[in-house]
Amino acid sequence: MNRKVTTIFTLIALLLAAACQKETATPPGNENDWVYNPTPYNLEVPAFFPLLDIPSGNPMTVQGVQLGRMLFYDPALHHEGARACASCHVQEFSFSSDPEVLPHINLAWNSAFLWDGKVQGSLEDIMLFEVKDFFKADLGRLEAHPDYPRLFYEAFGEGGITYERAAMALAQFERTMASGNSKYDQVLRQEPGVFLTDQELNGYDLFFTEEGDCFHCHGGILFTDNEFHNNALDAEPEVGLGAITGSPFDRGRFKTPTLRNIELTGPYMHDGRYATLEEVIDFYSEGLHASPTADPLMKALPMGGKHFTGEEKSALIAFLKTLTDTSYTTNPSLSSPF
Amino acid sequence: MAKVFTLFRAGLLTLALALSFGCNEEEASGSLLHLNFNHNVGAQELGLNDTWYNSAAGHPFMVERLKYYTSNFALENAAGERIVIREVHYRDVEKPDTRTFEWKDVPPGEYTALSFVFGLDEVVNVDGGLPNTTTNINMEWPLPGDQGYHYMKFEGRYDLNGSGVIKPFNLHTGATGNNQNYVDVYLPFSHPMKLSGGTWQLNLSMDLNEWLQNPNTYDFEVFGPMIMANQNAQQVLKENGGSVFSIGAVEKE
């Protein structure tokens, strides 16, 4: 009898303690004051960009985007607190930096991610991979944080902090990372006083005809086809997409990178082998290597390349530079919130 | 005012149709038609990447990708009356969900032929003529002075006269200048297809060899890997396009 009573008392004590602990762990500003009433976010899609599929389970909200932006810039997301997404994905360089770091630009229109296509699906899918598998985020650290429990509540309501919600917030922020204000875009929109120079126009003609034939892979308004190709870099290509599919026919196929802001994202190719755009164009001009999976769209493969003249090379580069959008790399709403 | 009148007429027509359907519900119900597209090379089923096929011009070839548009499907009866759906269908052999499309509420009747456009007609084949999706954007035909979209991307490699020298080919068809180059495909049924409701499977086959041989022999080596601005090559493919499709089994479920 006595024992039972003691047990009950102990239990009550424990419960109280637990409740107290929760009190102390709860950040300043009473939980009861938190409000879940997210404001719809009005996403501006650049002119001529394709229709954007936003998953119905993750509508854009001001609170979600803001939370995503904080997580992107906060080392607290990393399991050791060692680095933030933004340590490698640096705005000034179109959210790229070291060799191999893929930029973040218009990823909302992508459906296949990473050089070898390891993650396919929506932005939510790739962000879940980044948060959980790559950063091995420590949710306890976020729960103990003075602000995040409230910010997650304001963005997503009851249900606490989860990997999925962190990924959803990052995906919302990523959807705001749209670049469509390069000189090329301004010309497309026929903005007064903006024209391509003769050289840029020659580059455009090369790019969008079979003479240069870049557009079959890097074409359209996004300057990527969102597919995987072996662009004939090597006679013995690295495995690429083949590592994911296991198919020998996918050996050497890599994600086609967008050429928007390409001026800012060197060095180039999945292994960063080319330091400059000049080297890249030299490769397409003279440096192709045959291999069993070299893409048929590398139409000049039997001749080793397109054999551009010096003028043509400069024209192509001049055109590529019209895809630079510095209003994107300086956009204050994409910068660090801290 | 004219617009209002048209609307009014359309309204009446719908009413009339609704009434006529209402009267003999049993017989007059529409059919659901599944059009299934299969792809083969001669007698062999198409396999991407892993199979080499013989071509009429003597170069063995393999296929890496096949994407194309068909549009304006129509069914015709013995009296020559046609029902048409002005829709565009995209097909990518690597994406199984693009290989079938559903034609809903096909009116009852005895149909003697199926026809469609391989590619896009001049109304649709203009810049921005199709919905602005990434798929359609990837099919754009951006050559300065030209319009619209690729009708087909049939891409692969050939083995020059079987010598072991491997070269790329890209049969990219589309409009050049004023040449629209789309193909009017007309396929009579061997027995009239009598539709009176229910779900039907209509199987169609594209024989890739026919692009390369009938009536003209298409030689990869002669036309080279770049044919977008080559109207001779486009003309040969347009002429060969008429025999590329055939109707297989027509079955009611």
CATH of the domain at A74: 1.10.760.10
Residues A39 and A175 in one domain: yes
| CA trace torsion A164, A165, A167, A173 (10° rounding) | 160
Residues A278 and A236 in one domain: yes
CB-nearest to B137 from A50, A290, A294 is: A50
Percent of chain A's residues with pLDDT above 90 = 89
Residue A13 inside a domain? The answer is no
Residue A84 inside a domain? The answer is yes
Contact A297 B155 (CB under 8 A): yes
CA Rg value for chain B: 20
Residue A297 inside a domain? The answer is yes
Give the pLDDT score at B28: 62
Tens-place pLDDT, residues B78-111: 999 999 999 999 999 999 999 999 999 999 999 9
Give the pLDDT score at B11: 38
Residue spans of the domains in chain B: they are 12-18+28-252
**Residue position matching structure tokens 């009017």:** B184
Residues A133 and A64 in one domain: yes
pLDDT at A310 over 80: yes
pLDDT at A317 over 90: yes
Give the pLDDT score at A260: 98
| Strand, helix or coil for residue B159 | strand
Residues A234 and A257 in one domain: yes
Residues A95 and A188 in one domain: no
Element of type H or E holding A23: helix A2-25
Residue A237 inside a domain? The answer is yes
Supply B196's token pair. 């009176």
Which residues does A32 contact at the CB level (< 8 Å), separation at least 6? none
- Min Cα distance B152 → chain A (Å) is 13
Average confidence score pLDDT of chain A: 92
Supply B22's token pair. 């209402």
Contact A296 B166 (CB under 8 A): no
Residue pair B75/B113 in contact (Cβ under 8 Å)? The answer is: yes
Residues A238 and A138 in one domain: no
Query: Which is nearest to B57 in space by CA: B244, B222, B239, B236?
Result: B222
Report yes or no: A146 at the B interface, CB cutoff 8 Å: no
At residue A74, what are phi and psi to the nearest 5 degrees? -110, 120
pLDDT at A309 over 80: yes
Pick out chain B residues at pLDDT < 50.
Answer: 1-26
CA distances from B64 to A153, B17, B47, B67, B133 (A): 49, 47, 9, 10, 23
HSE-CB for B102 with a 13 A CA cutoff:
8
Amino acid letter, residue B217: T
Residues A238 and A141 in one domain: no
CB-nearest to A51 from B133, B140, B157 is: B133
The stretches of A131-189 forming alpha helices (DSSP H) are 139-143, 148-156, 163-175, 183-188
Residues A226 and A116 in one domain: no
Confidence tier at A29 by pLDDT (50, 70, 90):
low
The mean pLDDT of A312-318, rounded to a whole number, is 98
Element of type H or E holding B170: strand B166-173
- Min Cα distance B166 → chain A (Å) is 8
Amino acid letter, residue A287: G
pLDDT at A336 over 50: yes
The last residue of one of the domains, among A118, A150, A179, is: A179
Residues A195 and A163 in one domain: no
Residues A153 and A288 in one domain: no
The mean pLDDT of A84-111, rounded to a whole number, is 96
At residue A287, what are phi and psi to the nearest 5 degrees? -110, 20
Residue A27 inside a domain? The answer is no
Residues A195 and A272 in one domain: yes
Q: Count of domains in chain A?
A: 2
ipTM for the predicted complex: 0.88
The mean pLDDT of A155-160, rounded to a whole number, is 97
pLDDT at A11 over 90: no
Contact A221 B131 (CB under 8 A): no
* d(C-alpha A246, C-alpha B49), whole Å: 14
Supply B7's token pair. 């609307």
| Strand, helix or coil for residue B74 | strand
| Strand, helix or coil for residue B53 | strand
Average confidence score pLDDT of chain B: 90
Residues A233 and A129 in one domain: no
Tens-place pLDDT, residues A200-239: 999 999 999 999 999 999 999 999 999 999 999 999 999 9
| Residue ranges making up the domain that contains A304 | 183-322
